[in-house]
Amino acid sequence: MSQKPPHRRRFAVGLVAALVVGVGLSQWALVRARAKENHARAERVALVSLNALVEMVARAGGAGEATRRAVTAFARESSALTAIRVVAFDGLSLEASTAYADTGDRAAPRRLAREEKPLYDQGQRLRAAIETNRQEGAARKEEIEVVPSASGGLALAAPLEKDGSVVGLVAVETSPLPPAPRTGWLFPIVVLLVAVAVFWAAAIAVGERRGALALFALVVLVVAMFAVGRHANTMVAADVRSSESAVAAAVVAEEARAANVVQEASLGDARLLHPAAWDADHFRRPLGIVGADGKLDEARRAGEMGRIAASTARVLGSFAVLALAVLVWVGFGFASRLGATLRKHRQAYAYTFPALFGMLLLVFLPFLYGVVLSFSDMSLYTSQAPIGDLFTKLWVGLKNFTDILGDFHVATSTAAGLVWNYQNIYWTLGITIIWTVTNVAYGVGMGLFLALILNTKGLLGRPYYRVIFILPWAMPNYITALIWKGMFHQQFGVFNQIIQMFGGTPVSWFEKTSTSLFACIATNAWLSVPFMMVISLGALQSISADLYEAARVDGATRWQQFRSITLPSLKPALVPAVILSVIWTFNMFNIIYLVSAGEPGHSTEILITQAYKFAFEQYRYGYAAAYSVVIFAILLAYGIWQNKVTKATEGI
Amino acid sequence: MSVGSRTGEFPHVPLHVILLIYVVVTLYPLLWVFTIGFSGQQGLMIVDIPANATFLDRLRAIMPWPAHFSFSNFTSVFTEQPFARWLLNSVIVATATTILGVFLACTAAYAFSRFRFPGRRAGLMSFLVSQMFPGTLMLIPLYIIIVQWLGLGSNFIGLILVYSITGIPFCVWMLKGYFDTIPRELEESALMDGASAATIFYRIVLPLAKPAVAVTALFSFMTAWNEFIQAATFMDKANMYTAPVGLRFFVGGFSQQWGYFAAGAIVTAIPIVVLFLFLQKYLVSGLTAGAVKG
């Protein structure tokens, strides 16, 4: 460090960075919130008109001349909605339309054309949604669809009900939405400049005292964020208030228009309309803020304002924490230390950057995402949901894990004996352990055995044996798996031919857990020997012959030589190979998946194939992710234990 | 055990018997697939056997030798089935994966071997830990990132990126082990002669590490050539299938075209097996160097 610590400069830079982050993010959030409110306002106003229209059409019976009169009258009275279309499911007919395309020989009433099927489908979707919601007594599926229209407005569709069942739909479009309000950048910039000026003035007075500087910077940052927050809250609240007024005005206006339409189309008594229900959400539940007379419910509105303030505080609070982190990071010199490190080792980082970046994007990021998934109940139906939903709507906490690990019903005892629950993780774990231990033990034993034989001096044809023995390793393992599956075929497979050759009865290999697992292990054993053999052989060949010479001179027996020379020399090569082999076998997806496919009844699944089935046969992504996290935890525990035991990673 | 045979006292004949038995075990499945491939039929039986088959009939049925030799499975798998296209896809993906994977692994492994920098140990350990990530945990997020975020579904680039990057940890560990064995004095003297870091890397270290680089390349190529779960997930258009996905298509589900499968498997496996045998002397030295240094 230099004699004069650069605290003041660091804190100033840190404060500027923190303010840019905090104030900038707040401003960005404000712009977004206002645009959203602008959109929501247009949507609510459009919904008021649509709900009024639907009520009118329903009164007119949803079909026939009365409906057409009502729609025509409504269209003349209200210019907010264009392209009104009324579809009746009965007869697939377009009952009324003010759309430009539906004039001349395409004028209503007529049958829907083939290319208008999406319209019909939309109606059926809404019907299904309403039925689902009624059955579940919940508001889960939207009963009104709102999507952007081609002309920059909104396209809305509402169901048409008659005697409690959905008989058609009303689809409308709005004129293009008003542009989002402009949000000035003057205020945040002034806040930023003032904050920096105040801090600098104070910093000159204080000098290079780190504690005081940190405190000042903190206070300035908090005050600035508070100012920005108040400003944002005021603007959003004003927007919301003007939305409420706009909706209230729309309700009053629609009510007046509806009265005219009711009279003109002779639809009964105008006083029996329900304008209080027109300002509603997508589940057709009245919001209840705007009353029938256009008056606002002040208590509800106050509650609404409180909620807005709270959410603003929450969002800006998180930005403030982020800004504070930046301030601390820069102010206390962490940033400059990092910069110095990067500069000092720039060559090393340049060499490793491409690999590390790729690993971050395609290995560690997916891993983290998978871990997040494991706390959600994401399934095929919710797989398109935005990431934010994982932490809110789809979040189930530890439920997946308690479901998986807390289920101890491994077996039920019945009159016929124990009935195993093959979907239980403890059963699958047991199978996985049997699978892994058997395969690795056989691989090491057979590999070492063959290697010792092949290492015999002067043995004829050693290279040829070696090449032949390596073949199973060279073969793609999915091909091996499919070949063995064919050889274990119950009717035509080679193994059953051999059994029959000696007078036995053919075995249905994949109808019993034991034989099915045997078939898988036999396949994997065949292909896992060469790896161990090659590793052992390589290590054996590197043992100096002098060692054996010396041992023989000292009178050591063959067994003593093996124990004291061969095994210790093999250890450095074999231990990492065994660790790798355990992990590979534990995760050996292809063999189980292709040979037994878990038959019979998922009893021969290992953990990894079971997780795959949960994900891609039952489409329970969240559950499958949690299952995979459990697998990972098991492997990690194994790795740590193994590392402790062998210190295999010594000396990196 | 056979260690004593170093003195020549252990008789060779029983050793040969053991080895020959294991040769049969090793070769039988391979001969079997050749037999089915050259049988010209789609069935699993090598020969038809009569209802009351004798011992000899059964013996003939397990002999891996087709009743009639025919190339029809090979010709029709390329003409009637789109297997040529699938094979080409695999060649493209595996070649690009090898080039990219070797580049990424060599640079990173060199840095991990030669430089001491903050994060080195953490980086190496994280590579090791990432080897334990279960494939199923990665598959769904990878699908979302590759297909939905990057828009690389049914695209070679997506598959190449996934293959080359998921292979990095293994390759880096192996190469690093080998780089560690190359004496630093060579580089130091080159440095004295005024060579730049890039020159040292490309002109001195890489040529010396040829065996390890060859093993890395082989490993990358094999991974890409043999992988099928991710390929099946990312490549949903039939004309973008890789060879493994195509082969499973022949005998997966209700499909029982064993003849096509066998012919396709032979064509797919031969280049990789030949490559493997050709490079296996490097493989042993590379693996043991990497493993011993671990």
What ipTM does the predicted assembly reach? Answer: 0.83
Mean pLDDT within A175-192: 88
Q: How confident is the model at residue B103 (pLDDT cuts 50, 70, 90)?
A: very high
B7 in contact with A, Cβ within 8 Å: yes
Q: Please, what are the domains in chain A? A: 14-39+190-331 (no CATH), 69-174 (3.30.450), 425-605 (1.10.3720.10)
Question: Where are the strands (E) in A149-300, listed by range?
Answer: 154-162, 165-174
Q: Which residue of B has its CA nearest to A484?
A: B29
User: Which of A290-299, A412-421, A426-435 has maximum average pLDDT?
Assistant: A426-435
Q: Which amino acid is at B98?
A: T
The predicted-structure confidence for B143-202, as pLDDT tens digits, reads as follows 878 887 788 888 899 999 999 998 898 888 888 888 888 888 888 888 888 888 788 888
Q: How confident is the model at residue A2 (pLDDT cuts 50, 70, 90)?
A: very low
Which pLDDT score, from 0 to 100, does residue B284 have?
59
Contact A482 B261 (CB under 8 A): yes
Measure in Å the smallest separation between the Cα of B262 and chain A Cα atoms.
8
β-partners of residue A155 are: A147, A173
When CB atoms are compared, the residue of B49, B139, B277 closest to A615 is: B139
pLDDT over threshold 60, residue A614 = yes
**Hey, what are B75's tokens?**
């010709």
The number of C-beta contacts closer than 8 angstroms across A and B is 294
Contact B291 A587 (CB under 8 A): no
Q: Rounded distance, CA B51 to CA B54, Å?
A: 9
pLDDT over threshold 90, residue A432 = yes
Residues A610, A596 contacting (CB under 8 angstroms): no
Contact A363 B61 (CB under 8 A): no
Measure in Å the smallest separation between the Cα of A94 and chain B Cα atoms.
37
Q: Rounded distance, CA A165 to CA A159, Å?
A: 10
Nearest to A92 by CA among A79, A108, A69: A108
User: Which of A241-250, B70-79, B102-111 has maximum average pLDDT?
Assistant: B102-111
Collect all residues of chain A within an 8 Å Cβ-Cβ radius of residue B2: 452-453, 455-456
Report the relative pairing of strands A81-88 and A145-148 from DSSP bridges: unpaired
Measure in Å the smallest separation between the Cα of B292 and chain A Cα atoms.
5
Q: How confident is the model at residue A4 (pLDDT cuts 50, 70, 90)?
A: low
Measure in Å the smallest separation between the Cα of A479 and chain B Cα atoms.
7
Going from N- to C-terminal start, the domains of chain B cover 2-70, 76-293
Measure in Å the smallest separation between the Cα of B241 and chain A Cα atoms.
15
β-partners of residue A173 are: A82, A155
Q: How confident is the model at residue B86 (pLDDT cuts 50, 70, 90)?
A: very high
Mean pLDDT, chain A, rounded, equals 85
Helices H / strands E in chain A, number of each: 22, 8
The predicted-structure confidence for A469-508, as pLDDT tens digits, reads as follows 988 988 888 889 988 988 888 778 888 888 888 878 888 8
B94 in contact with A, Cβ within 8 Å: no
pLDDT over threshold 60, residue A407 = yes
Q: Is the pLDDT higher at B265 or at A599?
A: B265
Q: Rounded distance, CA A203 to CA A198, Å?
A: 9
pLDDT over threshold 90, residue B254 = no
Give the SS3 label for residue A84: strand
B33 in contact with A, Cβ within 8 Å: yes
Which pLDDT score, from 0 to 100, does residue B278 have?
77
Mean pLDDT, chain B, rounded, equals 82
Contacts of B165 (CB under 8 A, 6+ apart): A355, A358, A359, A361, A362, A363, B101, B104
CATH number corresponding to B76-293 = 1.10.3720.10
B238 in contact with A, Cβ within 8 Å: no
**Hey, what are B45's tokens?**
């039986």
Contact A534 B283 (CB under 8 A): yes
Contact B140 A373 (CB under 8 A): yes
Which pLDDT score, from 0 to 100, does residue A293 have?
67
Contact B120 A612 (CB under 8 A): no
B110 in contact with A, Cβ within 8 Å: yes
Q: What percent of chain A has pLDDT over 90?
A: 15
When CB atoms are compared, the residue of A341, A349, A472 closest to B26 is: A472
Which pLDDT score, from 0 to 100, does residue B258 have?
86
CB atoms within 10 A of CB A305: 15
Q: How confident is the model at residue A652 (pLDDT cuts 50, 70, 90)?
A: very low
Mutate to test the interface with A, among B5, B133, B229 (most CBs of A within 10 A): B133
pLDDT over threshold 60, residue B289 = no
Collect all residues of chain B within an 8 Å Cβ-Cβ radius of residue A628: 134, 136-137
Which pLDDT score, from 0 to 100, does residue A147 have?
85
Which pLDDT score, from 0 to 100, does residue A5 have?
61
Q: Rounded distance, CA A475 to CA A469, Å?
A: 11
Q: Which amino acid is at A329?
A: W
The secondary structure of B6-43 as a DSSP string is GGT-S-HHHHHHHHHHHHHHHHHHHHHHHHHHHTSSSS
Nearest to A628 by CA among A642, A640, A616: A616
Measure in Å the smallest separation between the Cα of B199 and chain A Cα atoms.
13
Collect all residues of chain B within an 8 Å Cβ-Cβ radius of residue A583: 131-132
Q: Which residue of A has its CA nearest to B37?
A: A483
Token pair 């289920």 is found at A407
The predicted-structure confidence for A185-206, as pLDDT tens digits, reads as follows 899 999 999 999 999 898 888 8
B105 in contact with A, Cβ within 8 Å: yes
Which pLDDT score, from 0 to 100, does residue A358 have?
92
Q: How confident is the model at residue B1 (pLDDT cuts 50, 70, 90)?
A: very low
Collect all residues of chain A within an 8 Å Cβ-Cβ radius of residue B53: 500
Q: What percent of chain B has pLDDT over 90?
A: 17
Collect all residues of chain A within an 8 Å Cβ-Cβ radius of residue B244: 476, 478
When CB atoms are compared, the residue of A478, A483, A607 closest to B33 is: A483
Which pLDDT score, from 0 to 100, does residue B4 have?
43
Mean pLDDT within A61-78: 83
Residues A86, A71 contacting (CB under 8 angstroms): yes
Residues A180, A35 contacting (CB under 8 angstroms): yes
When CB atoms are compared, the residue of B58, B121, B258 closest to A501 is: B58
Q: Rounded distance, CA A4 to CA A10, Å?
A: 12
pLDDT over threshold 80, residue A269 = no
Measure in Å the smallest separation between the Cα of A398 and chain B Cα atoms.
17
Contact B247 A482 (CB under 8 A): yes
Q: How confident is the model at residue A436 (pLDDT cuts 50, 70, 90)?
A: very high
B115 in contact with A, Cβ within 8 Å: yes
Q: Which amino acid is at B181?
A: T
Collect all residues of chain B within an 8 Å Cβ-Cβ radius of residue A483: 29, 32-33, 265
Contact B291 A576 (CB under 8 A): yes
Contact A534 B61 (CB under 8 A): no
Contact A534 B127 (CB under 8 A): no
Mutate to test the interface with A, among B44, B47, B140, B206 (most CBs of A within 10 A): B140
Contact B229 A492 (CB under 8 A): no
Contacts of A264 (CB under 8 A, 6+ apart): A69, A73
**Hey, what are A197's tokens?**
């000026």
Contact A625 B140 (CB under 8 A): yes
Which pLDDT score, from 0 to 100, does residue B292 have?
40
Contact A370 B138 (CB under 8 A): yes
Query: Phi/psi at A412 (nearest 5 deg)?
Result: -115, 140
* Rounded (5°) CA angle A360-A361-A367: 75
Mutate to test the interface with B, among A379, A457, A464, A478 (most CBs of B within 10 A): A478
Which pLDDT score, from 0 to 100, does residue A526 have?
93
pLDDT over threshold 90, residue B102 = yes
**Hey, what are A572's tokens?**
């450095």
The predicted-structure confidence for A114-142, as pLDDT tens digits, reads as follows 888 888 888 888 888 888 888 888 777 88
